[in-house]
Structure 1
Amino acid sequence: MAAAISVSLLLVAIISGSCPSFTSAKPPAPPVFCDDSGCVVSNAYGVWADRQQCRTGLAVFPTTEEELRAAVAEAHRKRFKAKAVSGFSHTIPKLACPPPENSVVISTAKYNSRIEVDVANRRVTADAGVGLRDLIDKVEAAGLSLLAAPYWEGVSIGGLISTGSHGSSWWGRGGAVHDHVESLTLVVPAPAEEGHAKVVTLRRGDPLFNAASVSLGLLGIISQVTLSLEPSFKRSITYSFQNDSSFEDQFMDHARKHEFADITWFPSQHQAAFRLDDRVPLNTSGDGFNDFIGFQSTLMAVSMAVRATEKAFDESRNAKGKCATAATVLAFKKLMANGLKNNNLLFTGYPVTGRHGRMQTSGSCQHSPVSDGLSSCPWDPRIKGLLFYETTAFFSPQSFRSFILDVKRLRDMNPDNFCGVDNYNGFMIRFVKRSESLLGQPEDSVVVDFNYYRASDPSIPRLNQDLWEEVEQMAFVKYGARPHWAKNRNVAFLGVQGKYPGFKRFLAAMKELDPEGVFQSPWSDEVINEKEAVKSDGCALEGQCICSEDRHCSPSKGYLCQNGLVYEEARVCRFANVSMV
């Protein structure tokens, strides 16, 4: 999950005099719920991209590799479809959702006991269900560090490897975790004489390794992963806030100078925050840590109030209201260093220096053992908190510069229209190195994440509906950006097969390891096997299609399918009575 949650909710808490309480936080709900009628699989946000519930008849919870193999064997023997789901389920597309009939979900939530650190060879082997934070803490205690990690730590090792999760770095092997995998084991279907399922070990250099290292759960179920490590080190981080007038000409130099560089762009505020982030020797003074503001526990009442305010602004078309909070949000980020702390309590000044394992990733809202507290993660679906879309696109450096210039042209028509995204985390810009993985990045890439308001009712168009559709189509259509596999609305995956040179080889690996399609699903049929969904009334509002007729928008509410303003070939749902200027 991207570091892209609104900090407005913390401002409300501070103003009201009630600060978030970590010790009384409600942990996230498990993603699988079963009763006599079957099982429902959810993601962490409580809503899938298509808003449709994911149902299956059966869920199993293996605790060992043999139990995992037996679960796949039973599904194969019965000719059921099977899907793996972690104990976290931080995925927006339905990667973990099988067909509703004759299917089983295999959860790795209880398959999480093994974390073995090989200090001599600087490697760690973990069960697929192990949480990222548990692995990092075990590795750091052994005097070693896992170099790459996503910014959100609430993911399993198997899940983050399967989906191409990443941090930010063009140095060394780069910021994608799968590029630090040395070997992995998969449980795959097998003939009856082999017990209907078997465990396959793949090592770096093996013919199928580059297919399996980012597999989307389509080759089998990851059982164990071995990752390379480095000797422990510290990181020193400083945020430099600058005018955004020329940052599109600075990003490459920034990424080359700083090992863990990133940039956060706040377009409505004309600001860019450059993260100066480098390793320093372990004996450097400082015991700081990264407790990203948006991932801290937040009073449930505050999260609900922030959502209600955002909803009121959106439905009343009050862009100025969103801009007032956007300016305050940016000021607060500067004041609080976006959650960096020089000690366990406070930010006292730059640079913030701390052990790599405490600086690389965060997610404190999920860790409290107390289940009846007053606080939670701010997007927890049980409290009607934040609800948002997340778009994530990988660009070549050359096309990224052109993309930013186009977005600036769109922004400059009316900067107020971009305040909504700045109430979250603006445009988060990171760097991912070229990968040998067939579904990894085929070139050194710049990845952009941005979050924006999602209506509670799918039939209600959003404020600036057309603008975000145009930005989305600029990225994926005009500039051919590649989507993050575990994020994005469905339109981001249109034509994705032609964006990866190794895609045909990945399809061949699917045929070899899962010839009967045990791990196929409606989502993979649409995205991987190019079975285009039928366009329906209102399908563009939720990113299920690109509009080609007015009925794909909401003509009854005044939203018609029209051309883009900067990217004129785009087709977007625009409120017919509103001008950008």
Structure 2
Amino acid sequence: MASSSPSWWCRASSPPDPVQCASGTTDCTVTNAYGVFPDGSTCCAAAAAYPASEQVLLRVVAGATASRTRTKVATRYGHSVPKLAFPGGGDGRGLGISTNALNRVAVDAKRRAITVESGVTLAELIDAAAEAGLLLPHSPYWLGVTVRGLLSTGAHGSSVWRTGSAVHEYVTGMRIVTPAPAREGYAKVRVLNAGDPELEAAKHEFADILWYPGHGKAVYRIDDGVYDFVGFRPTPTLAIQANRLAEDALEVTGNAGGKFLTASATTTLLAAGNYGLTRHGLLAPLPGTPVVGYQNRIQSSGSCLTGADDALLTACLWDPRVEHGMFYFQAGISVPLSKAAAFIRDVQRLRDLNPDALCGVELYDGVLMRYVRASTT
């Protein structure tokens, strides 16, 4: 039996680009951060485009619209897990538009305003603000999202109970390139400003809770958390593979008790290390003691993304290039907030019928519960 441990290295091979083309920018495949979609299918695209400016993006969208080519946007790290990321259904005839080159940031320190392109990552946004003596008031706890991704998929904050804790509440305007009729050149730039109802429609939100029903525990994550989360740090690939082999052995032997103990050890180790909270990046503080630091260094984490390449000696835990490494299967359901309590009681009843049945779920994040407020537009 093996369990995850809060040990890490300061280097890591950065994750691969989710868009890979066999010949230049044609004959491409589009995947996600895990290297596989939930049903194991492969997403093929006829071509990929890498616009580096709004003008070039406008031409790309216009060309696709005129030729009736279906398109989807691909981001730097590909954290769109479901098949919604497939261009044209993934049948090899669509176009993937990468935002990797749309990565410029302009800071106006006097107005305390930042203008960014859609491919700017959260890490780049936080760093740019810090260099100008500013800070992003709230952010997700994972650095590997782009501005476009975190706004359009809701990967940030929540205003379910109150205002002020979601990234989108600080967005004052957007410029969006959309398809258009032939008389408008097949594509146009739409400018959305504060007060425009369409601006609200372009923004979503969520936050989350980790629930371990077998252990009767829940972990509530505050999006401006003060930590470099252990699960987002560089991990030796040998440790990743050893953990997977141990998990496979437990699965083959039907050892539910072993899974339960492994899950317990993992959560205990994470808690002992304060989930990655450190003083000066070295030692975990004692529980209940304050930690003082710069906002840009403590509000989000993802150090496995930015290390120098080390020939895959270390990597993010989920890196698909690690042979026989971790495999993440994600399936989700939507439950109205009014039914959330009933859902929890149903799961508790299932657990009580067979206390060992949910041990496998708890090896990692348990039941990840994300709560979202519906759009008012």
TM-score interval (norm. to shorter): 0.7 to 0.9
Any unmatched runs of 5+ in structure 1?
Answer: 1-6, 12-18, 216-259, 280-287, 439-581
User: Of the candidates 91, 102, 106, which is equivalent to residue 111 of structure 1?
Assistant: 102
Q: Which residue of 2 aligns with 1:266?
A: 212
CA distance in 2, matches of 1:429, 1:358: 26
Confirm or deny that 1:308 pairs with 2:245.
Answer: yes
Partner of 1:132: 122
Alpha-carbon distance in structure 1 between the residues aligned to 2:77 and 2:374: 26
Aligned equivalents of 1:261, 1:33: Cα separation in 2:
31
What are the Cα deviations for residues 471-522 of structure 1, in whole angstroms up to 9, with x where unaligned? xxxxxxxxxxxxxxxxxxxxxxxxxxxxxxxxxxxxxxxxxxxxxxxxxxxx
CA contact (8 A) 2:263 2:359 kept: yes
Structure-2 separation of matches of 1:87 and 1:297: 18
Partner Cα separation in structure 1 for residue 140 and residue 223 of structure 2:
17
Deviates more, 1:352-361 or 1:319-328: 352-361
Q: For residue 488 of structure 1, what is the aligned residue in structure 2? A: none
Residue number in structure 2 paired with 1:160: 150
User: 3-state DSSP class of the match of 1:323?
Assistant: helix
In 2, Cα distance between equivalents of 1:90 and 1:203: 28
Q: Residue type matched to 1:418 in 2?
A: L
Cα drift, residue 293 of structure 1: 1.1
| Distance (whole Å) between structure 2 residues aligned to residue 134 and residue 293 of structure 1 | 21
SS of structure 1 residue aligned to 2:114? strand
Contact 2:33 2:77 in 1 (8 A): yes
SS in 2 for 1:147: coil
Match of 2:185 in 1: 195
Among 74, 85, 98, the residue aligned to 1:96: 85
TM-score calculated relative to the size of structure 1? 0.59
Q: Identify if the C-alpha distance between structure 1 residues 75 and 8 changes in structure 2 by more than 3 Å, giving closer, same or farther.
A: same
Matched, 1:426 2:339: no
Following superposition, the deviation at residue 170 of structure 1 comes to 5.0
The alignment's TM-score, normalised by the length of structure 2, stands at 0.88
What corresponds to 1:27 in structure 2? 14
Aligned equivalents of 2:298 and 2:161: distance in 1? Answer: 17
Deviation at 1:58, TM superposition (A): 0.8
Corresponding residue to 1:9 among 4, 22, 25: 4
Instruction: Quote how far apart the aligned CAs of 1:304 are.
Output: 1.1
Q: In structure 2, how many angstroms separate the alpha carbons of the residues matched to 1:394 and 1:142?
A: 41
CA distance in 1, matches of 2:158, 2:253: 38
Percent identity between matched residues is 40
Distance in 1, matches of 2:66 and 2:308, equals 39
Letter in 2 for 1:96: A
Q: Aligned pair count? A: 369
Matches within 5 A, 1:359-438: 359-383=298-322, 384-391=324-331, 397-429=337-369, 434=373, 436=375, 438=377
Structure 2 match to 1:183: 173
Cα deviation 1:99-149 (Å, max 9, x = unaligned): 23542111111111x212233433321100001111012123333332332
- Give the alignment of 1:231-270 within 5 angstroms: 264-270=210-216
* Structure 1 partner of 2:259: 322
- Structure 2: 5+ residue runs without aligned partners? none
Higher RCO, 1 vs 2 (CA within 8 Å, ≥6 residues apart): 2
Give the superposition deviation at 1:368: 0.7
Q: Shift of residue 153 of structure 1?
A: 1.5
Range that drifts further, 188-197 or 415-424 = 188-197
Q: How far apart, in 1, do the equivalents of 2:216 and 2:16 lie? A: 38
Distance (whole Å) between structure 2 residues aligned to residue 67 and residue 94 of structure 1: 27
1:209 aligns with 2:148: no
Q: 1:91: how far off?
A: 1.0
* Residues 199 and 397 (structure 1), Cα distance of their counterparts in 2 relative to 1, 3 Å cut: closer
2:10 partner amino acid: F
SS in 1 for 2:5: helix
SS of equivalent residue, structure 2 residue 191: strand
| RMSD (Å) for aligned C-alpha atoms | 2.8
| Structure of higher CA gyration radius | 1
SS of the residue aligned with 1:9? coil
Residue aligned with 1:72, SS: helix
- Provide the C-alpha distance between the structure 2 equivalents of 1:168 and 1:213, rounded to a whole number of angstroms: 11
1 or 2, which has the higher strand percentage?
1
Partner of 1:571: none
Match of 2:76 among 75, 84, 87: 87
* Contact 1:289 1:344 (C-alpha < 8 Å) held by counterparts: no
1:149–1:177 contact (8 Å) kept in structure 2: yes
3-state SS, counterpart of residue 328 of structure 1: helix
Query: Residue deviations 1:253-295, cap 9 Å, x none?
Result: xxxxxxx9975432222334466x699xxxxxxxx95111111
Question: 1:436: Cα distance to partner?
Answer: 4.3
In the TM superposition, residue 437 of structure 1 has moved relative to its aligned partner by 5.1
Kindly tell me: are residues 278 and 421 of structure 1, through their superposed partners in 2, closer, same or farther at Cα, counting changes over 3 Å?
Answer: closer
- Taking structure 1 as reference, are residues 118 and 48 closer, same or farther at Cα in structure 2, changes over 3 Å only? same
SS at structure 2 position matched to 1:417: coil
Cα deviation 1:55-109 (Å, max 9, x = unaligned): 1111111111111111111112222112111111101112221123542111111
